[in-house]
Amino acid sequence: MNEISVKSLRSMYLKFFEERGHTVIPSASVFPENDPTVLFTTAGMHPLVPYLLGAHHPAGTRLTDVQKCIRTADIDEVGDPSHLTFFEMLGNWSLGDYFKEDAIRWSWEFLTSPDYLGIDPQNLAVSVFAGDEDCPRDEESARIWESCGLPKERIFYLPKKNNWWGPAGQTGPCGPDTEMFIIRKEPCGPDCSPACDCGAYLEIWNDVFMQYNKDAEGKFQPLVKPNVDTGMGLERTFCVLTGAETVYDTEVFRPVLDKLEALSGKKYGENEAVTRAMRIIADHTRTATFILGDDRGMTPSNVDQGYVLRRLIRRSVRMALQLGLEKGSIAQIAQVIIDEYQDVYPELGRNAAFILEQLNLEEDRFQKTVSQGLREFERLYKNLDAEHTVIEGPAAFRLYDTFGFPIEMTVEMAAERGLTVDTDGFEACFRQHQAMSHAGAEQRFKGGLADNTVETARLHTATHLLHAALRTLLDSSIEQRGSNITAERMRFDFNFPRKVTPEELKAVEDWVNEAIQAGVPITCEEMSQDEARASGAIGLFGSKYGDVVKVYTMGKYSKEICGGPHASNTAELGRFVIQKEQASSSGVRRIRAVLVHE
């Protein structure tokens, strides 16, 4: 096996496929543009879905790249030997061009040739689709592997759950895949296969063959132009190639760990607690650096991607405190990451000042509350007698509400001490807190708005018309999922499973402007919630309203429970203009609009 570095592995992979007619394309953003169901780009194929589904790619039909990916479902597992939240995915793609023969032969060549990775073929095994009532056994892939020199006993036929890519219970392109594995130790028995969890087989690469379309009747029809998409995790592959025990024991993380050792005076590996803390800081800070460094921009917040970012940073800060690191250490670690990666991902260099600024700001915010919260947690822990191993919900909520402790941190710290947390009790306290907060907001701001200017009242009124238009023209089940209104513009979130087309947006805009031009009076009546609903009024977030509610009616166009303020006539609103429609979160769309007075 050749001596190799992380940088040479990246460049070797791209050059290999470039020499075979592939265009090298840059990594897409870590924020997905084509899938509102996830917060981050989770795989190499993610940004290419429209092209895998048939859209024309300007770079041609053969592509290769190294994609930045983020997966946070297992964030609590980070600190063990294998889990990462950020990783790079090597990929090559055929968009209706070559298929199984070329894809498999190139995979074999790249893995085994001494000119490339030089892996001993005796250490390789593969799996292929076993076939079922929907689609046949993938004998073609098995035959190609065998012709490459892989013996039959190391070609495993596995079912859909192991060797299939495609829509589960949906329609669209799908197909079998073939996965490649390094044999790391003797199999556990005669029935051992890559599906076994004994650790004998470690996946290194996956070639997906999208050759079917699942139709509305659940039948699998062959595609006229099948596609290939592949994925090879850079960090895992490098770990295998260098014979390292874990990804943290490779040069991928060595510069960061060196810096942590210098800052803390502790040695990585000296004990379990130090090792775990350093791994968490190294992984989470790397991920936070790539989120902050993305050109699409993101800052820590309490929702969506911003919440994940905040959690990553704060977990790193807590581990830094555990190691005795001084304030500002997380930004120093980020600088090491920027230095290591900016030649490959220049956006990190462009946005370096922003990355460091945001990390320091979030650390400041967190440290102002966390030190006292840590003391409160320890006090709580010491006051528990031996028979009590559960931190009650109200106590966990007090840590959250008073000291800024995320519930995940309380759960994690409790687990470190052999305790559990009553998370159901925490959620009950949290819901009660939300209800009280909503009630308080009604008193502080009319209708939840931060000001009562004429402009804001008009835009607030326009949200009612927009809501009605969406329900009338798109789907009667649409409901408001949030709004943000200033004197200059409105932002309206609503549940909807797909992007609203330009034609639909134009129809919605026209519908609202028709209501405005009609010049209908806006009336307000007070009644019980039951009476309001019986009258046909729509009302969201029912728990925030009292027994008696205000119902605002705009002729035949809108009837909605609301706290105000509103214009007195739709004619006052001016011309309604939609500026932007985009995904807000999973299953939620967002419209930004203004009122123009001409």
Mean predicted lDDT score pLDDT of the chain: 86
pLDDT surpasses 90 at 174: no
Where residue 434 falls among pLDDT bands split at 50, 70, 90? Answer: low
Burial class (CB in 10 A: 0-12, 13-18, 19+), 418: exposed
Mean pLDDT of 466-489: 85
Mean pLDDT of 183-189: 90
pLDDT surpasses 80 at 170: no
Long-range contacts of 432-437 (CB under 8 A, 24+ apart): 433/397, 433/401, 435/543, 435/544
pLDDT surpasses 70 at 293: yes
The fourth-level CATH superfamily of domain 6-247 is Bira Bifunctional Protein; Domain 2 (3.30.930.10)
287 within 8 A of 316, measured Cβ to Cβ: no
The pLDDT, as a whole number, for residue 194 is 93
Q: Please give the model's pTM, rounded to 2 decimal places.
A: 0.67
pLDDT surpasses 90 at 169: no
pLDDT surpasses 50 at 153: yes
The pLDDT, as a whole number, for residue 43 is 86
Task: List pLDDT tens digits, range 296-330.
Answer: 777 887 777 888 898 899 889 989 988 999 999 99
Question: What is the distance between the alpha carbons of residues 395 and 463, in angstroms, rounded to a whole number?
Answer: 40
The pLDDT, as a whole number, for residue 451 is 46
Where residue 595 falls among pLDDT bands split at 50, 70, 90? Answer: very high
pLDDT surpasses 70 at 467: yes
Task: List pLDDT tens digits, range 19-64.
Answer: 999 999 889 889 876 554 578 888 888 888 777 777 778 788 999 9
pLDDT surpasses 60 at 436: no
The fourth-level CATH superfamily of domain 452-596 is Threonyl-trna Synthetase; Chain A, domain 2 (3.30.980.10)
The domain ranges of the chain are: 6-247, 253-366, 384-444, 452-596
In CATH terms, are 6-247 and 452-596 the same topology? no
| Residue written as token pair 């470039």 | 18
The pLDDT, as a whole number, for residue 440 is 35
Where residue 221 falls among pLDDT bands split at 50, 70, 90? Answer: confident
Mean pLDDT of 110-122: 95
69 within 8 A of 86, measured Cβ to Cβ: yes
Where residue 274 falls among pLDDT bands split at 50, 70, 90? Answer: very high
N residues, the chain? 598
